[in-house]
Structure 1
């Protein structure tokens, strides 16, 4: 595995980091708890020492699963990365979505990161994760109802108390990043990035490169689209958030698969799967520090971790970039 320094800090995360959203089941059409635990442990055995989760993933389920999975591992051998600012148990802030929890009950989710809420959420996350500190604590989405300074004063207090090591953000634009930085040094921004979804390369990634902020890329496989295993007539399970998403229309799936077919010979030449090739390309991309990748079982976790073994030359990267451009991505 490769390990990469995050921002100006001494925190290092595994270049392939375990993304535990799907492990929590919520919005992914359920999950198997034991499979998820084994997936995290299988990744760890291959050097995936960093795990990214959030309270909202399964309304606590994902964090509990992560806590259970790492129970026997020495705390300084893993990096626990979680979030705050999405409340389903409090009607405050701005309504983000109306959805269902894992039991099928309706819930309202609010974006809220007021000072007292950040402190409360941290305590809950520490309990669920079974730890006394969080390596990287990130606001999940911008909260337009709370001053950014108030939010990060709370995180600053948690850092002083030793409950949090470093502060990060997710889904922040350049202006929000600059503002947050005035209260507390922000070492990373977690943003969506994949071969077919590269809008963040226009402003955010150049800013992060210039100011030495790490980029944690989420959905690098575009939620399964870039595995090449999806067909135009794919049927989603009930509760799967991909249903109706623009990347998952029959036309989009077909267009993506045609592009992936051009990469297949290169993957085969390297004894790699398409997914592994896509992941290696992602972490080679300028400005991308870490790729967050989910897995529902051991096999997927092992495959993700082994993407690190794929080596791409400058010519091969150029070949992929040209194929992307020709495909209209």
Structure 2
């Protein structure tokens, strides 16, 4: 099967990718067998773009095992920059120093069982390391053939400009969906201006826009969403009320809320490649069907009006993590 394709600068990828983090961490207990079935089915359905990171538990190992015999059919993205949790120093920590980047990419290549990574991201900008230094070192990987394209995640428009002046950036990855429209205020227009692709993660609002999450009790043990302000207290109910309108519009269109939400993101530009994450075949198929949903200008306007910028209640990340956004 062949899906629509889009370009992230020089990288040609399926118009929807697959976010693989949840297969290994963050969303309840991993199920490697189900995840491998989902990866196989995604490839059979024409998905070519797969996203992981060195901090996603054993996710690079899982993908490395799966990639054997398939590497030439896959555009593989990974990331570095986050450090493992340290009980003595609570909160997320980042490292963008060139020497750390070199160690990180070597570890990722070994885990992934590959000689190159198609798209290599700095996971978060390091406040202690000039972006020019980090990207300059990453550019060496391109010259060596270890990496094909460079990416940044959750950066500001200013940081993107500085980085792109050192080496062309293939893609910026940030959270973007109906309930997180922050990129529209700066980095997304800058991506369009500079010819940089944009890769939305959590395009379904961490599953909230699917309409299947009705209570905080729906989250399994160990689910990373529990401490997120948007999923707590009064915020949860207020956000649920807004999602109800998205559900109504989806029913009117004859599609699922997830498909409507993904179709809206896809309609925001042809250099936008969402990477909804799932470890289940049924959700993979539902998400890919969004590529066949065509929204008229009137429908796009109605969906945007139903969930305008700032409609979601609560910060999109817990304290500490918020400080690393828009870096």
TM-score range, shorter chain: 0.7 to 0.9
In 1: Cα distance, 2:235 partner to 2:204 partner: 14
Which residue, out of 157, 162, 170, partners 2:140?
157
Number of residue pairs aligned between Structure 1 and Structure 2: 310
Name 1:44's counterpart in structure 2: 43
TM superposition score normalised by structure 2: 0.87
SS at match of 1:65: helix
CA RMSD, Structure 1 to Structure 2 (Å): 2.4
Q: Is the 8 A contact 2:19 2:277 kept in 1?
A: yes
Name 1:217's counterpart in structure 2: 200
In 2: Cα distance, 1:151 partner to 1:326 partner: 32
Name 1:4's counterpart in structure 2: 6
In 1: Cα distance, 2:307 partner to 2:285 partner: 27
Name 2:64's counterpart in structure 1: 67
For residues 196 and 107 of structure 1, do their structure 2 counterparts lie closer, same or farther at Cα, with a shift above 3 Å needed?
closer
In 1: Cα distance, 2:270 partner to 2:180 partner: 15
For residues 326 and 167 of structure 1, do their structure 2 counterparts lie closer, same or farther at Cα, with a shift above 3 Å needed?
closer
Residue 287 of structure 1: how far off its partner (Å): 7.5
Question: Unpaired segments of 5 or more residues in structure 1?
Answer: 89-96, 101-105
For residues 233 and 239 of structure 1, do their structure 2 counterparts lie closer, same or farther at Cα, with a shift above 3 Å needed?
closer
Structure number having the greater strand percentage: 1
Residue 66 of structure 1: how far off its partner (Å): 1.5
1:298 aligns with 2:262: no
In 2: Cα distance, 1:327 partner to 1:262 partner: 15
For residues 171 and 325 of structure 1, do their structure 2 counterparts lie closer, same or farther at Cα, with a shift above 3 Å needed?
closer
Name 2:81's counterpart in structure 1: 85
Name 1:126's counterpart in structure 2: 109
Q: Is the 8 A contact 2:83 2:94 kept in 1?
A: yes
Show CA shifts across 1:201-246 (max 9, x none).
1111111111111111111111111110111353433332211312
Question: Unpaired segments of 5 or more residues in structure 2?
Answer: 313-327
What are the equivalent positions in structure 2 for 1:1-329 lying under 5 Å apart? Answer: 1-7=3-9, 9=10, 11-25=11-25, 27-58=26-57, 61-73=58-70, 75-88=71-84, 98=86, 110-268=93-251, 270-286=253-269, 289-325=272-308, 328=311
SS at match of 1:145: coil
SS at match of 1:64: helix
SS at match of 2:179: coil
In 1: Cα distance, 2:111 partner to 2:91 partner: 22
Q: Is the 8 A contact 2:6 2:271 kept in 1?
A: no
Residue 68 of structure 1: how far off its partner (Å): 2.1
Q: Is the 8 A contact 2:97 2:134 kept in 1?
A: yes
Show CA shifts across 1:132-162 (max 9, x none).
1111111000012222222122211111111
For residues 107 and 33 of structure 1, do their structure 2 counterparts lie closer, same or farther at Cα, with a shift above 3 Å needed?
farther
In 1: Cα distance, 2:86 partner to 2:227 partner: 16
For residues 233 and 175 of structure 1, do their structure 2 counterparts lie closer, same or farther at Cα, with a shift above 3 Å needed?
closer
SS at match of 2:222: coil
In 1: Cα distance, 2:169 partner to 2:309 partner: 37
SS at match of 2:13: strand
In 2: Cα distance, 1:325 partner to 1:136 partner: 32
SS at match of 1:177: helix
